[in-house]
Structure 1
Amino acid sequence: MFNENVRLFIAGQFLAGFGMAFWSLLFNLYLQELGLTKDRIGITLAIANFATAIIALPAGIYISRHSQKLTLIFSQLLFPLLAGTAIFLVGPSFLILLFLAYGFATFMRVIAGPFIMANTTHKERTYVFSVYFITTVIGGVLGNLMGGSLQQLFRRVGIEAVVGYRWAILVGIFLIVLAIVPYFFIKEENRIEKPARFHLRDMAAWNWPLFIRALIPSVLVSIGAGIVLQFVNLYFKDTFHLPDSAIGSYMSLQAFAMAAGAVIVPSLAERFGKVTTIVGTQLLSIPFMLVLAFTGDIHIAIIALTIRSGLMNMANPVSNTLLFELCKPTEQAVINSLLIMFSGLAWSISSLAFGRFLKGNYSESFIVAVVLYFISSLLYYYFFRSVEIEDESLEAIELIKQT
């Protein structure tokens, strides 16, 4: 099943997702343990996310011209090296290394779409994107469970909290390094398609109407997600005073819901259409985010977060497939890079907004995110509903031809 390169890539991404979950779960908590205010944490994350915004387009250009295999290996080595060093530093040197680490992590994000497109057939792409998404999410489930428990274990044996966070994060970083092992066995001569190069001099010929239609809803969702998802571990810590192991367990539940959603979403897309599935699942997630804004009950919050995560993220493989199919091969790396670039910029803005303007108020953050998600969903349907109609018309024509 699937090209061997795809299987090796997914195996590496599983390990990377496993390790990155340690970072996602523990890094904010580590910064808070150091004594940083919500404002300072927001600024730190804004600087890191800004690196993604700056690097995404150059990364896409580089990846389209150079070996995907070597890019995977070196980016997967440089991020852990820089991030692992950064957590032992303070001041400007910490921020510089963090900025560079997130820059190299951007290569890891940008390469996924073009790699899958180059190593799959048209027929299997939606399923490969789903398997890739599910696998990384399962890695995240395990990482959240182990990361929180490991930090608690260090505390029980008498290790100082800050040191315990550092060592737990380093375990995750080691797992990220292990991800390069499957990458060594990738054979680029086995690709189904050769990745298309793109050049900035071709900008005038790019499909800008499509790019703009894709970017506007994506940026709105990214700002909303950045306001809440970057700080959901702090939300549990500050609102319900949970230990790290419990936070890891609850974040694993939301990751599990995302994986479960990704399993069923290809069938939903075939039955209802890609656009209807994408918009419908996003809109259904909104009431559960409102629950998070107002509930003071931990059990209700866990249920709401789990369902919201499953609904909001389950259509990601479908939206990726749809967008890449609408692009020319030469534009796939472009739109992938632009989406990541603007997502990084949006998360940078939302990081600052959380600390500076929302003052770390979780209820207000969820409400702002709800408004942005709702507007984004409506715009996505408005921009892409015609694509659904065209697909249905083509299917009808094919059925007529067969009768």
Structure 2
Amino acid sequence: MDPAGAAAVAVRGPVGGHPDHQPGIGAGSDHDWPAGARQAGGETGRSHAARDLGARRRDPAGGRPLRRGGHAAARVPAAQDRGDREEGRRGAPQAGARGRRTSRSTLSPFRSFYAQLRGFSPAARRFLAFSLVGGVGFTIFNLVFNLYMSALGFSNDLIGVFNALPAAAIIFIGLPVGALADRMGYRRFIVASSVLSLLGASVLALTSVRPVAVVAAGTYALGFITLGVLGSPVLAQLSRPDERVPLYAASNALTWVASVVGFLVGGYAPELAGRLGAGSPTSLVSLRAAFVAMALLQAVSLGLLIQLARGSNLRPGEVVPVRQLLQVDRRRFARFLIPQALLGLGAGMLLNFVQLYLSQRFHLHTGPIGLILAGSAPLTAIVVLRAPAISRRLGLTRTIALSQLLTAPLVLAIAFAGSLPLAIGLLYVRQLVINTQTPLSQVFAMEYVEPRERARLASAENVVFSIGFGGIGPLLSGFLQVRGGFELAFGVAAVFYVLAGATFLALFSRVRLPSESS
């Protein structure tokens, strides 16, 4: 599983999760404005309007300023679509001063990345450090869990059921957590979720009793997925509007840095344990060595999170009355969640079984599998860092949709790959292509709705994505694998990638967000 597909998760990243908020808009505000539009209208939007006023003429009917050629200009740099209001003619997206300096720099990608990190707010940097450490632990879990369940004697279809259990739980707690976090703030929720993950990781490291191991794995995953629900809104609240796109890109890039370490530690900890007398690297005792490392990392990340919670403003920007917690812009929520559901199905059918695909088709064990999965992470980090520049050329919507559409033929080719080098190459290219859209999709979600609805959208997104990624997707994939092999299961996954990209493009091709105008 790659981190971008995990908590969304964001694969959404280690804390997605996606993975993926700012002080909100008051009640009675314009519900067509996305998250951040009010703030942009008060700062960036007003400065743009003042600067461009002399270059525009007035619309006699509506009094709105027109660009040359008669196209209505937006009042503020907000998400617009023609179904709700007229869209101004799309000009070349203007990058901010920091974006222009970065794009023109001759520094290497990683030196440029370091320079970007120094420009983020201290609270944002602390959150990135927490995400990095937690992401290493979550990558270990992603690598070892299915192999551990297989070593315990469970079949592939039953392993698919286990993968679905956290998703089933998040259906019931995701939306309430997001709604309450919008009202009460994020501090207590993210700390409690991290404690839950530490408890599950510790039990996994100590026992191989089958029922206990299954419950412990579910506890760890549930805590981490809950963190994924709040990851994007927390990052949005800790960031300035002008740094949000590069910050989300940096967060996802660090996810891939974490994945390199996690895949190597998770892959070679069982190898080392086996050499020290625990038996085969695929034995239960050897595999538990990876969970020991995961528990230690989770303890470190909890300490970092407590420091972040003490020193950062994670209070709600607006106290939402209880009766209004479920009062959201349902139309916008539904439009965004439909393609997310399709993407979750495709990702869940593929990513939950990559380890077993490499193990069962090519007879590999944890060490080589971890090395293979770690190999593409540095390249993926570079691609993620370049995502803002790509989106400035193509636009957020087109970049997201094309990334999903181009993934489909790669997934289909993976299904029928008969040689290990070909399969590795296809897995790498697929990972690079699909993760171009990961930080952009998170920014899209946070700017498409009002600030006071961000945690609820993040919750709904994680619930919907998890139904596919951790619920129906692995269930369907495991069912198809025992009847038609990986060819049938991954072939159906490719269809869902096509549907996700086509649906997103159809729904949002005319939408423009504040980050595309600033």
Establish whether TM, by shorter chain, passes 0.5. Answer: yes
**1:102 equivalenced with 2:221 (yes/no):** yes
TM-superposition CA deviations, 1:265-315 (whole Å, max 9, x none): 000111111011111222222222122011111111111101101111221
Structure 2 counterpart of 1:374: 498
* Equivalent residue number for residue 449 of structure 2: 327
What corresponds to 2:192 in structure 1? 74
Identical aligned residues as a percent: 26
What is the CA distance between 1:391 and its match in structure 2? 7.4
- Mapped pair 1:352 → 2:471: no
- Residue matched to 1:384: 508
Is 1:365 equivalent to 2:484 in the alignment? no
1:6 aligned residue (98, 116, 124): 124
Q: Which residue is equivalent to 2:361?
A: 239
Residue identity matched to 1:351? P
Q: Where in structure 1 are there 5+ consecutive unaligned residues? A: 399-403
Higher helix share: 1
**Gap change, CA 1:44 and 1:200, over 3 Å in 2:** farther
Distance 1:247 1:54 in 2: 34
1:127 paired residue number: 246
**Separation in structure 2 between the aligned mates of residue 308 and residue 235 of structure 1, nearest angstrom:** 15
- Structure 2 CA distance for partners of 1:378 and 1:78, relative to 1, 3 Å: same
**Aligned residues between the structures:** 394
Q: Write out per-residue CA displacement over residues 131-188 of structure 1, whole angstroms, 9 at most, x where no aligned residue.
A: 1111122111111012101111112223031011112112112102201222233266
How far did 1:8 drift?
0.6
Q: Residue 223 of structure 1 contacts residue 369 of structure 1 at CA under 8 Å; is this kept in 2?
A: yes
| Superposition pairs of residues 335-346 of structure 1, within 5 angstroms | 335-346=457-468
- 1:257, distance to aligned residue in structure 2 (A): 3.6
The separation in 1 between residues aligned to 2:403 and 2:120, in whole angstroms, is: 28
CA contact (8 A) 1:228 1:366 kept: yes
TM-score normalized by structure 1?
Answer: 0.91
Q: Is the 8 A contact 2:171 2:463 kept in 1?
A: yes
* 1:39 matched residue in structure 2: 157
What 5-or-longer segments of structure 2 have no aligned partner?
1-118
Give the alignment partner of residue 112 of structure 1, picking from 231, 236, 251.
231
Q: Which residue of 1 aligns with 2:373?
A: 251
Larger Rg computed on CA atoms: 2
Would you say 1:164 and 2:286 are equivalent positions? yes
CA distance in 1, matches of 2:499, 2:302: 40
TM-score between the two structures when normalised by the length of structure 2: 0.71
Quote the Cα distance in structure 2 between the aligned partners of 1:153 and 1:293.
32
Query: What is the alpha-carbon distance in structure 2 between the residues aligned to residue 27 and residue 98 of structure 1?
Result: 8
Q: Taking structure 1 as reference, are residues 146 and 190 closer, same or farther at Cα in structure 2, changes over 3 Å only?
A: closer
**Structure 2 counterpart of 1:56:** 174
Range that drifts further, 349-358 or 161-170: 349-358
Distance 1:358 1:330 in 2: 43
Which amino acid is the alignment partner of residue 262 of structure 1? V
Any conservation in 1 of the 2:186–2:316 contact (CA below 8 Å)?
no
Counterparts in 2 of 1:16 and 1:377: CA distance versus 1, 3 Å: same
Cα distance in 1 for residues equivalent to 2:362 and 2:320:
49
Kept after mapping to 2: 8 A contact 1:13/1:136 = yes
Question: Which secondary structure state, in structure 2, belongs to the residue aligned with residue 111 of structure 1?
Answer: helix
Indicate how the Cα distance of structure 1 residues 376 and 187 shifts in structure 2: closer, same or farther if over 3 A, else same.
closer
| Displacement of 1:106 | 2.5
Q: CA deviation at 1:245?
A: 0.9
Letter in 1 for 2:125: R
Q: What secondary structure, in the 3-state scheme, does the structure 1 residue paired with 2:187 have?
A: helix
1:192 Cα shift? 9.4
**Structure 2 match to 1:401:** none
* Matched position secondary structure for 2:241: coil
- 2:61 aligns with none
Q: CA deviation at 1:193?
A: 8.5
The 1:175–1:391 alpha-carbon spacing in structure 2 relative to 1, beyond 3 Å, is closer
Residue type matched to 1:26 in 2?
Answer: V
Matching residue within 410, 413, 430 for 1:308: 430
1: CA distance between counterparts of 2:208 and 2:179?
A: 32
